[in-house]
A and B are shown apart, each in its own frame.
Chain A
Amino acid sequence: MDASDVKINIIGAGLAGLSAAKTLAQSGVHVRLISYQHSERAQSNLAEGGINAVMNVMGENDRIEYHFQDTGKGGCFLADPEMVRGLTQAAPGIVSELADLGVPFHREKGRLIQRNFGGQKLKRTAYARSSTGKVLVSAMIDAVRRYEAEGFVERFAHHTFERLLFENGRLAGARIYDRFRKEEFDCRGPVIMACGGMNGMFEGATTGTLANTGQAAAVLFSQGVRFGNLEFLQYHPTTVEISGKRLLISEAARGEGGRLFCMKNGARCYFMEEKYGERGNLMPRDVISREMALLNEQAYLDLTVLDRATWEKKLSDLREEVIHYLGIDPAAEPVPVSPGIHYFMGGILVDRDHRTNIPWLYAAGECACAYHGANRLGGNSLLGAIYGGKRAAESLAAAIHEVGSGEIPADGTVSVAAAARAAETGDENVVHARMVRALLKGMEPLRTEERMREALEEVISLKAPDQPETMKASLLLAEAILRCGLERKETRGAHTRLDYPKTDENWRKTTVAQMTDGRIGITYEKIAPYPAP
């Protein structure tokens, strides 16, 4: 079928969704960009520290090969090496393209400047103070707006994804709810999920947005979509509790020279530097969070060592935010910090072309399990979102002639009679809160068989036959997360088992969770070997 007769449904309008929409529109393919709120509200806006790419502007002889090795090693070799290769090779082109879109990356005398970030020895992170995500999204919104005006992208910006539609066992599109008009309708055609991480499963305990409820992921899981590596959730080492959520203090603070310490016998103990040497504060996030969890002491982030120019030119926004929310001036005194949930490495399992197990369903960005293995490096999430959205769009565009051939409808919206939508009852809120508590207990930074099993039993006990389908789906996903954690009997990346403290080469495989015949099945898939450095 001709591309002009086809419409692709993109769920989510953060960076991955914007990137997919832009790429498809550039190829002349029409898109519905469907999101709960407009792109300005997406979690991508919260990304702070920067985006990784080998631009080799810092005179350090950086090479794409090193970015590939760092990403693979940082993820404890749990991501597909070919996918990591593609990500890192594309990175310089992506950063150049973003600069062409007017992203105000930090420059000095017109020259791009990159900063240090965790898990990477060389300065490879392009940035705009501590608001890199925000300025990237602003530029991408403008870029997509052009295609909105040209009619290639149609925005549905107050809409939620309800579920996938199937006809004769094949994907037919997605059911969407317009929360302003309170109407449901079906969007026919291929679907790209770009719906972000599942914060709502850990509500109140993450650095992300409230709007990422995890509901889309739960529904997809209940509909048979395969998920990968659900046990790997990233605890960011430097977060602080504020009202209703956790506040992130960007890794850029340590990239610019910040140091972690705790008090021991009345003196400062720079625990990361003591154990890992001078680069201790910039070890990958899984390593630092594990050390902090093992400390049993309050940790502090000391930024008083940063000079005035660094604060003014590179971290002014971070300083303002810490003062505003914590009443502490980080330039004057250390900030108490502790690990908090920040990113989901696991998610909808995709192949190298970002296809899922369901033909014509694609996924990209944080909702997908793709590039980050057992632990994501800082600076790779913005990159992964933009690259993933682009790859999903490219692979769909390459198959566009097959759309409408009978396998998958090309287009069409169908309104459906509104089902009565019961308001959430107090009972459901209680069940949800208990589910969150159980998940936080089971999936804490340091895990044991006993705690995860208790959490699993709690989640199972919450199930009731008369619950709404969405609640049933959430409980299934919660159960799957805990089962994935229980099954992986080793310590790797963000999955730290006190009862299995060693990394076991036999466990270097992808955990796959899938609903089949009403049961959660957990299997494992091999990962190709990494080339020797």
Chain B
Amino acid sequence: MRKLLHILRRESAGSAPYWEDFLYESQDEAATVATALQSIGAENRVDSGSGAFRPVAWESSCLQRRCGACAMVINSHPAMACDTRLRDLAGERVTLEPLGKFPVVEDLIVDRTVMMENLKRLSVWLSEKADPGAEDMAFEASRCLQCGLCLEVCPNFAPGLGFGGMAAMNPIARLIANSPQQMRKSLAKNYMRGVYSGCGKSLACRDICPAEIDMEKLLARSNAAAVWGRWKAAVGSRDQGHID
């Protein structure tokens, strides 16, 4: 397999962006964009006359789509590098860009701190003991990777607007699933503020999630509880917590 990685590079937040091409050749049919990024170095540069080599900066951790680190834009499509097999990409050229909704740090690395700040601002924690019951809902919501791909495709999300998108909905849904009676009022308020009021229901987030979280169902149940006050219907009586 032979691929030309066309990478949008930037030395630091303030410096001018430029493109650099790397040739990646491998016998590994299962090779992903992450595998290629791991292995390319100075010797892979197509135009080695373009000054001193600087290794391509990107984020990774688990390499099995369980951590959300390697989210980026691949051939104009936001995806995880470890979840994108090179053989599945048409043509020889693979364009790699950083996520566009977050400040660029260097090359393919962006600063996604805003996601964690949103959760802090929306008081996303249990201040009382959990009241378990809707385990399936809590499980589904707990799987959110905080990768930012849903925010990248969301027409309503921009850092600083106060809308946390599905990256805020999932952690809040985890609390709704566990919601002790005493917390419901404040939980509903924060849900309205951080999720419901900003969501235009485009559902662009639904198909992009690398964890394949069923956003639509989680959203419907969270709305039922936090917006319409139908807590019992949403999170079930305490021993039957199914998402359906």
Q: Are the CB atoms of A146 and B125 closer together than 8 Å?
A: yes
Q: Which of B32-40, B88-96, B195-203, B224-232 interfaces with chain A?
A: B32-40
Q: How far is the CB of A379 from chain B (nearest CB, A)?
A: 18
Q: Is A129 a contact partner of B67 (Cβ separation < 8 A)?
A: no
In the complex, whether B28 has a CB less than 8 A from a CB of chain A is yes
B75 within 8 A of A: no
Q: Is the beta-carbon distance between B143 and A244 smaller than 8 angstroms?
A: no
Residue B69 at the chain A interface, CB threshold 8 Å: yes
**Across the interface, do B60 and A211 meet the contact criterion of CB distance under 8 Å?**
yes
Do B67 and A209 touch (CB < 8 A)?
Answer: yes
Q: Across the interface, do B146 and A102 meet the contact criterion of CB distance under 8 Å?
A: no
User: Judging by beta carbons under 8 Å apart, are A423 and B124 in contact?
Assistant: no
B62 adjacent to A128 (CB under 8 Å):
no
A245: Cβ under 8 A from any B Cβ: yes
Q: Which of A101, A128, A244 contacts B130 (CB 8 A)?
A: A101
Contact of B123 with A by CB under 8 A: yes
User: B144 interface residue, CB < 8 Å from A?
Assistant: yes
Contact B146 A40 (CB under 8 A): yes
Measured CA separation A135–B213 after assembly (Å): 14
Query: How far is the CB of A146 from the nearest CB of chain B, in Å?
Result: 4
User: What 1/0 mask marks residues of chain A from 402 to 425 whose CB sits below 8 Å from any chain B CB?
Assistant: 000000000000000000000110
Q: Please determine whether A134 and B66 come into contact, CB atoms closer than 8 angstroms.
A: yes
Give the A-B contact count at a CB cut-off of 8 A: 155
Q: Which residues of A contact B32 (CB under 8 A)?
A: 243-244
Do the beta carbons of A101 and B54 come within 8 Å of each other?
A: no
Residue in A closest to B147 when the chains form the complex, CB atoms: A40
The answer to whether B174 has its CB under 8 Å from any CB of chain A is: yes
B119 at the interface (CB under 8 A from A): yes
CB atoms of A41 and B41 under 8 A apart: no
In the complex, what residue of chain A is closest to B128 when comparing beta carbons? Answer: A100
- In the complex the two chains form, is B139's CB within 8 Å of A423's CB? no
How far, in whole Å, are A46 and B143 apart by their CA atoms in the complex? 11
Given known pairs A46-B66, A102-B132, A134-B66, the reply for A423 and B175 (CB within 8 Å) is no
* Cβ of A69 under 8 Å from chain B: no
Check: A106 CB closer than 8 A to any chain B CB: yes
Q: How far is the CA of A129 from the CA of B67 in the complex (A)?
A: 17
Contacts of B41 in A (CB 8 A): 426, 429
* Chain A residues near B63 (CB-CB < 8 A): 209-210, 242-245
CB distance from A71 to the nearest CB of B (A): 27
B164 within 8 A of A: no
B31 at the A interface (CB under 8 A): yes
B238 proximal to A (CB < 8 A): yes
Tell me which residues from 122 to 175 in chain B have a Cβ below 8 Å from any Cβ of chain A.
123-127, 129-130, 132-133, 135-136, 138-139, 142-146, 171, 174-175
B61 on interface, CB distance cutoff 8 Å: yes
Decide: A148 and B38 in contact? CB cutoff 8 A: no
CA of A268 to CA of B16, assembled, Å: 62
Interface-lining segment among A136-144, A220-228, A390-398, A464-472: A136-144
- Complex Cα distance A325/B29, Å? 12
Contact B129 A243 (CB under 8 A): no
Tell me whether A142 and B125 are in contact (CB under 8 A). yes
Q: How far is it, in angstroms, between the C-alpha of A242 and the C-alpha of B62 when the chains are bound?
A: 12
| Interface presence of B244 (CB below 8 A) | no
Give the Cβ gap from B234 to chain A, nearest Cβ, in Å.
Answer: 16
Distance in Å: Cβ of A330 to nearest Cβ of chain B: 16
Contacts of A157 in B (CB 8 A): 113, 116
By beta carbon, the residue of chain B nearest A212 is B61
Distance of B14 from chain A, by nearest CB (Å): 12
For B106, the closest partner residue in chain A by CB is A180
Tell whether A45 pairs with B124 under 8 Å between CB atoms, given A110-B238, A210-B60, A211-B60: no
Range class of the B interface residue count? 35 or more
Task: Determine the chain A residues whose CB is within 8 A of the CB of B64 once the complex forms.
Answer: 46, 242, 245, 247, 321, 325
Please report the C-alpha to C-alpha distance between residue A244 and residue B36 in the assembled complex, in whole angstroms.
10
Interface contact B62-A104, CB-CB below 8 Å: no
Residues of A within 8 A of B239 (CB): 109-110
Asked if A46 and B126 make an inter-chain contact with CB atoms under 8 angstroms apart, the answer reads no
CA distance A40 to B68 in the complex (A): 7
Contact partners of B38 in chain A: CB under 8 A: 210, 244
Residues of A within 8 A of B212 (CB): 320
The verdict on A401 contacting chain B, using a C-beta distance below 8 Å, is: no
A-facing mask of B210-236, CB < 8 A → 1, else 0?
Answer: 001000000000000000000000000
Assess whether A441 is interfacial by the CB under 8 Å rule. no
Beta-carbon nearest neighbor of B127 in chain A: A146
Q: A102-B174, A244-B38 are in contact. Are A38 and B146 (CB under 8 A)?
A: yes
In the complex, A423 Cα to B66 Cα: how many Å?
A: 28
| Nearest CB of B to A343, in Å | 15
Which residues does chain A contribute within 8 Å of B177, judged by CB atoms? 102, 104
Given the known A-B contacts A135-B142, A155-B116, A424-B55, are A100 and B129 also in contact in the complex, defined by CB atoms under 8 Å? yes
Contacts of B2 in A (CB 8 A): none
Question: Which residues from chain A contact B143 at a C-beta distance below 8 Å?
Answer: 131, 134-135, 138
Give the distance in Å from the alpha carbon of A182 to the alpha carbon of B136 in the complex: 42
A-B contact pairs, 25 of them (CB 8 A): A41-B61, A41-B69, A42-B61, A42-B67, A45-B62, A103-B130, A104-B177, A110-B133, A135-B142, A138-B143, A142-B124, A142-B174, A146-B123, A149-B123, A180-B111, A209-B61, A209-B67, A210-B38, A210-B61, A211-B61, A211-B69, A242-B63, A244-B32, A244-B82, A424-B55
Known: A110-B239, A210-B61. 16 other contacts (CB 8 A): A38-B112, A40-B67, A41-B67, A42-B67, A46-B66, A100-B129, A102-B178, A103-B130, A128-B135, A131-B142, A135-B139, A138-B142, A142-B126, A142-B171, A243-B28, A423-B54
- Which residues of chain B have a CB within 8 Å of any CB of chain A? 12, 28, 30-32, 34-35, 38, 41-43, 53-55, 59-64, 66-69, 82, 105-106, 109, 111-113, 116, 119-120, 123-127, 129-130, 132-133, 135-136, 138-139, 142-146, 171, 174-175, 177-178, 212, 238-239
Q: Which residues of A contact B (CB under 8 A)?
A: 37-38, 40-43, 45-46, 99-107, 109-110, 128-129, 131, 134-135, 138-139, 142-143, 145-146, 148-149, 155, 157-158, 180, 182, 209-211, 242-245, 247, 320-321, 325, 423-424, 426, 429
